[in-house]
């Protein structure tokens, strides 16, 4: 991973006239903004499909391989001839917030029409579409079945479906696929459209000298096509119900720990199959991104296992992962793997040893750096001991200005001014931390766009452990000014990034 800096901004937060950021003109304009600002990286959040049921969190998906088709650009569909401009009704969407349910209804109508035009004019297939379906059959066929089964059989958990469908009786699934072949094709068509638009955008990024950092959530959802398709890789009982769930143990931040509720991997079964499912997942993501960040990396070394009957995470146990064997298999298949390990929270020696052995850089968060001993705090740049990626903050934190105004203790504020200098105006704290990150020894320095735009807590992307008001923030087109770009470029050049 080349030395450089970049911006963290999810696709949903881009400007657009369709109520949500997408893969259309404003995504390309943002790449131009990055290029003009001297930035080499664009980090996004997971691209997997989301749902209103789980608050549209990109970390709660029903597929580890599928894409979030509501990010498809209507403008690009018009370019392909699958829509006409007159097909798009004028809707007065908010510019600064995403209304996911309204956007989903709006875009579903457009997608149905685009597919109908595709099917009518191309007899249901094109050379590229057929190739896409063939190349991605290992996940796409079951994903499409899962989506359509949800529509026809019912939206309840897949493990409550009739036993022959729950247990994937080949004859029953074959008959279902024949009966609903056109619905299945539309699901595949939308995946094809998304990945086609995405790869065009990625190519443009790379041409402009910008690398994309993608994000892999370590766990999948219980109600997902992955668990339905590969129940043997998860800790389930004979009725395909969860026996244990994922989480983290009690710590300074939570006396009861965190009970996430995701199914846990059966690492013995995964290892017996040569880690095939995980290797396929990594390969899939490496096609989409230049660098991948693995969320909750420590779960690939050891994980907190909570019995499903427990209401909290207190009575869990640490369970080992064959990390050496797994990452050796990964390294053999993907030499020089460009991984960033999310190693925040309480990290044990075995996690550090694994990261060191395989050369994975960890993360340092500056808004966490002022709550302890300034001489020894591991998140302050003068204490960076190993290669790392430094952030002013992440999607889970407040913005720098929001943190300083609303969350930082008096001691933390004193520590900030001691570190950056007492003459820095409070409204410039964000730029001071951006400069600290730029000037550090970290391989990569990354900043949420909200920090570059000097926004406060009203622009926060997510508050962990809450379900309302998250993932909806959007940048307005007028915010991406030449003044901001020039200031960022000047800092970048001075830091030789």
The catalytically annotated residue of 32, 96, 295, 412 is: 295
200 a catalytic residue: no
Q: Is 97 in contact with 471 (CB distance < 8 Å)?
A: no
Q: Copy the structure tokens of residue 153.
A: 């059989």
Q: Is 140 in contact with 131 (CB distance < 8 Å)?
A: no
Q: Copy the structure tokens of residue 352.
A: 């550090």
Q: Is 98 in contact with 476 (CB distance < 8 Å)?
A: no
Q: Is 159 in contact with 239 (CB distance < 8 Å)?
A: yes
The catalytically annotated residue of 396, 412, 428, 439 is: 396
Which residues are CB-contacts of 69 (< 8 A; sequence separation ≥ 6)?
A: 49, 107, 111, 190, 191, 193, 194
What CA–CA distance (Å, rounded) separates 293 from 77? 30
Q: b vs e for 10-44, b when ≥16 Cβ sit within 10 Å of the residue's Cβ?
A: bbbbbbbbbbbbbbbebbbebbebbbebbbbbbbb
342 a catalytic residue: yes
What CA–CA distance (Å, rounded) separates 185 from 196? 16
Helix axis angle for 410-420 and 429-439, nearest 10°, is 60
295 a catalytic residue: yes
The catalytically annotated residue of 142, 215, 223, 342 is: 342
Q: Is 451 in contact with 430 (CB distance < 8 Å)?
A: yes
Catalytic residue numbers read 295, 342, 396
């Amino acid at each position: 991973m080349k030395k450089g800096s970049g911006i963290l901004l999810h696709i949903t937060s881009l400007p657009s006239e369709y109520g949500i950021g997408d893969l259309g003109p404003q995504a390309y304009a943002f790449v131009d903004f990055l290029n003009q600002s001297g930035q080499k990286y664009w980090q996004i959040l997971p691209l997997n499909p989301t749902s209103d049921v789980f608050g549209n969190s990109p970390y709660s998906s029903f597929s580890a391989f599928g894409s979030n088709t509501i990010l498809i650009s209507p403008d690009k569909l018009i370019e392909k001839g699958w829509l006409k401009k007159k097909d798009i009704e004028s809707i007065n969407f908010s510019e600064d917030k995403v209304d996911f349910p309204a956007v989903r209804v709006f875009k579903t109508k457009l997608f149905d029409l685009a597919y109908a035009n595709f099917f009518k004019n191309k007899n249901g297939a094109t050379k590229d579409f057929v190739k896409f379906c063939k190349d991605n059959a290992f996940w796409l066929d079951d994903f499409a079945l899962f989506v359509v089964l949800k529509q026809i059989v019912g939206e309840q958990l897949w493990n409550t479906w009739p036993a022959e469908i729950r247990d994937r009786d080949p004859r029953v699934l074959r008959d279902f696929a024949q009966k609903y072949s056109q619905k299945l094709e539309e699901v595949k068509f939308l995946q094809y459209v998304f990945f086609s638009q995405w790869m065009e955008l990625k190519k443009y990024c790379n041409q402009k000298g910008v690398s994309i950092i993608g994000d892999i959530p370590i766990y999948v959802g219980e109600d997902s096509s992955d668990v339905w398709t590969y129940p043997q890789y998860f800790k389930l009982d004979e009725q395909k119900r969860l026996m244990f769930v994922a989480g983290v143990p009690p710590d300074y931040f939570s006396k009861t720990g965190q009970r996430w509720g995701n199914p846990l991997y059966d690492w013995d079964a995964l290892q017996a199959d040569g880690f095939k499912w995980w290797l396929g997942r990594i390969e899939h993501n490496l096609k989409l991104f230049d660098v991948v960040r693995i969320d909750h990396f420590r779960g690939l070394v050891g994980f907190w296992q909570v019995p499903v009957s427990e209401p909290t995470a207190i009575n869990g146990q640490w369970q080992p992962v064959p990390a050496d064997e797994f990452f050796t298999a990964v390294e053999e298949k993907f030499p020089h793997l460009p991984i960033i390990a999310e190693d925040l929270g309480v990290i044990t020696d075995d996690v550090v040893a694994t990261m060191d052995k395989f050369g994975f850089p960890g993360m340092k968060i500056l808004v966490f750096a002022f709550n302890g001993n300034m001489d020894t705090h591991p998140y302050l740049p003068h204490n960076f001991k190993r290669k790392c990626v430094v952030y002013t903050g992440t999607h889970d934190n407040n913005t720098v200005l929001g943190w300083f105004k609303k969350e930082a203790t008096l001691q933390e504020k004193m520590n900030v001014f001691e570190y950056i200098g007492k003459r820095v105006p409070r409204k410039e704290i964000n730029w001071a931390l951006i400069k600290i990150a730029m000037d550090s020894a970290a391989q990569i320095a990354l900043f949420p766009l909200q920090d570059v735009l000097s926004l406060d807590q009203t622009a926060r992307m997510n508050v962990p452990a809450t379900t309302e008001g998250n993932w909806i923030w959007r940048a307005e087109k007028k915010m991406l000014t030449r003044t901001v770009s020039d200031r960022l470029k000047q800092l970048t050049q001075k830091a030789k990034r």
